[in-house]
Amino acid sequence: MSNSTLRITEIFYSLQGETRTVGLPTVFIRLTGCPMRCVYCDTSYAFSGGETVSIDSIMSQTEQYKARYVTVTGGEPLAQKNCAKLLTRLCDAGYQVSVETGGAIDIASVDPR
């Protein structure tokens, strides 16, 4: 198993409120940190703080919710180098995954699933 870690602000279960997946039971994994500082940001509380958590632990917490849809968000989740590893692990585990990014960071490392 992986010993990679990410800085996490929160992991929670809710209904997706945006896009074509609105209403789907979803696990939200909010990563900490963002280099952008967009004036319209509604999650500035995720700019700092959080807790360092192993990807294995994130996977275990996600499994507890029994949802098949996961959204990885932030801050800017792709600002953490291990975000791509988490996205791949989630896809490997059979989750339908979306990532909420501002688009300023290259997505080449993101699993296309």
- Give domain status of residue 54, yes or no: yes
Instruction: Give me 104's structure tokens.
Output: 């300023």
- Give domain status of residue 104, yes or no: no
pLDDT digits (tens, 9 = 90+) for 38-90: 888 889 999 999 999 999 999 999 999 999 999 999 999 999 999 999 999 99
- Give domain status of residue 106, yes or no: no
CATH code where residue 49 lies: 3.20.20.70
CB-based contact 16:69 (threshold 8 Å): yes
Give the confidence band of 3 by pLDDT, cuts at 50, 70, 90: low
CA dihedral angle for residue 13, residue 19, residue 23, residue 24, rounded to 10 degrees: -60
The boundaries of the domain holding residue 89 are: 5-99
Q: How many domains does the chain have?
A: 1
- Helix extents (H) in 27-69: 55-63
CB-based contact 99:78 (threshold 8 Å): yes
- Give domain status of residue 67, yes or no: yes
Q: Output the CA torsion sign for 61, 63, 66, 70.
A: positive
